[in-house]
Amino acid sequence: MYVGRMEAMEDRNPRARLLELAGSKGVSLAALSGLLGRNTTYLQQFVRKGSPRRLEERDRHQLAAFFGVSESELGAPEFHGEQATAAQSSRRTAAPWIDVPRLPLGASAGPGAFPAEETPVGQLRFSRRWLTQQGFEPAVLTVIAVEGDSMEPTLHDGDEILVDRTPRPLRAGIHVVRIDGVLLVKRLEPAAAGLVRVISDNAAYGRSEYPLADVEILGRVVWKGGRI
């Protein structure tokens, strides 16, 4: 019977299901790997090369919770009776923290890949409950550092910022953008006739207007942390 369950699990093809779920959410395997605190190639190797052969229980649980599906869809054996009760109890005691990948980029630091092309240099830990309350999807969050003083007094050199990369229509706020190949953190405001106003909070740097098509909006800044 155990062998039958294992064969059924393989028949469900958790690799194909993971690709399907990632596509439905519009998130990359690299971003999902970062959500797990893994190297960005981890899930790519799982899907394309079959290594690891199966997802570790912790990784499978976190992915299933993110997608809102049963762990069996990602390769877990199906339990019945007392086993099912024990599995449900285990899920209720999931880690209360999410490790958001920190990328080796500085907003306003010059040209750079963002976000999935870079390998994380660490993680910044956030409360799972707080992220849920804020309506954030962990797999599309990234932490980067601010470089320079162009956004003072709002953001200071060395501040860490949490960037939400969920695709949304532009609205006023602080964003990470790429303009002419340069990565910047700026305040954006919609302007007339398809233009966007790009503003530095530090008055010494002024403001500019660009055609919206010339401004690649990579994410919205939703949190900051830094020294007092």
Q: pLDDT digits over 170-182, tens only?
A: 889 999 998 988 8
* Residue recorded with tokens 């958790």: 14
Omega before residue 120 within 30° of 0, cis: no
What pTM, to 2 d.p., does this model score? 0.64
Choice between 116 and 69, residue whose per-residue pLDDT is larger: 69
All domains in the chain, ordered by first residue: 2-92 (1.10.260), 97-225 (2.10.109.10)
Judged against a pLDDT cut of 80, whether residue 225 lies above it is answered with yes
pLDDT at 108: 59
Give the amino acid at 213.
A
Angle between helices 42-49 and 14-25 (to 10 degrees): 130
Tokens in use for 171?
A: 């609205």
Separation in Å, CA 17 to CA 8, 24, 62, 147: 14, 11, 15, 40
Choice between 210 and 87, residue whose per-residue pLDDT is larger: 210
